[in-house]
Amino acid sequence: EAAVTQSPRNKVAVTGGKVTLSCNQTNNHNNMYWYRQDTGHGLRLIHYSYGAGSTEKGDIPDGYKASRPSQENFSLILELATPSQTSVYFCASGDENTEVFFGKGTRLTVV
Amino acid sequence: QQQVRQSPQSLTVWEGGTTVLTCSYEDSTFNYFPWYQQFPGEGPALLISILSVSDKKEDGRFTTFFNKREKKLSLHIIDSQPGDSATYFCAASDDTNAYKVIFGKGTHLHVLP
């Protein structure tokens, strides 16, 4: 069964600190995505990747970096975390015009 | 910026009633339209999807309609159940930019017993 695993599931970070959110997929999908979900905004695309070694900016990339070292792994990096980055983050994987599979999410609180 | 507009933002229906959610989009190159269902504490999961070559797709109590001329789609849930209470997202993608799936902002559905 298709699986996307995110870690950690919950994270409290201090302002100015570095945060790394990790994602692993066992679907062998080419495409991977990072979204954040906030009330009133739905799902907003931060970064995406269409294969190992590639990262592309989504709609709200400012303050975030991404890394795709392998087909299976896609990380989201907050170099200098700010309270405005408090949110629920979802990683997902998929291929062209097919179902996108989401992880269970990471709840990040920046204090 | 490509957009998918979804309405209503929130909806309450009685058990047994019919729920109708709607979305509109701008980019005529979109050709794949999935609907995702999200329960609290979980990630969204695919509920039903339709390609632009079709105008209707059914899956049990769930039916999605697509109107290419008006650039609109809808999700109908008949005999709505309390277990259908969730957030529903419509989305769109196309072959020319298939790396990106554009999501609507979601509809919070509450089905009252």
Residue A11: pLDDT above 70? yes
Q: Which residues of A touch B (CB under 8 A)?
A: 4, 31, 33, 35, 40-43, 45, 48, 50, 56, 58-59, 90, 92, 94, 96-97, 99-100, 102-105
pLDDT, one tens digit per residue, over A78-91 is 999 999 999 999 99
> If we measure between CA atoms, which residue out of B1, B16, B48 comes closest to residue A44?
B1
pLDDT, one tens digit per residue, over A36-77 is 999 878 899 999 999 999 999 998 999 999 999 999 999 999
> What tokens were used for A65?
């970096």
pLDDT, one tens digit per residue, over B39-53 is 998 999 999 999 999
B60: Cα within 13 Å, side-chain hemisphere: 6
- Number of domains making up chain A: 1
Which residue in A48, A56, A90 is closest to B43 by CB distance?
A90
Instruction: Parse chain B into domains and list their residue ranges.
Output: 4-112
B34/A99 touch (CB, cutoff 8 Å), yes or no? yes
Say which CATH number the domain at A79 has.
2.60.40.10
Q: Note down the domain range covering A21.
A: 4-110
Superfamily of domain B4-112, CATH level 4? Immunoglobulins (2.60.40.10)
- Ramachandran angles phi, psi of A83, nearest 5°: -55, -30
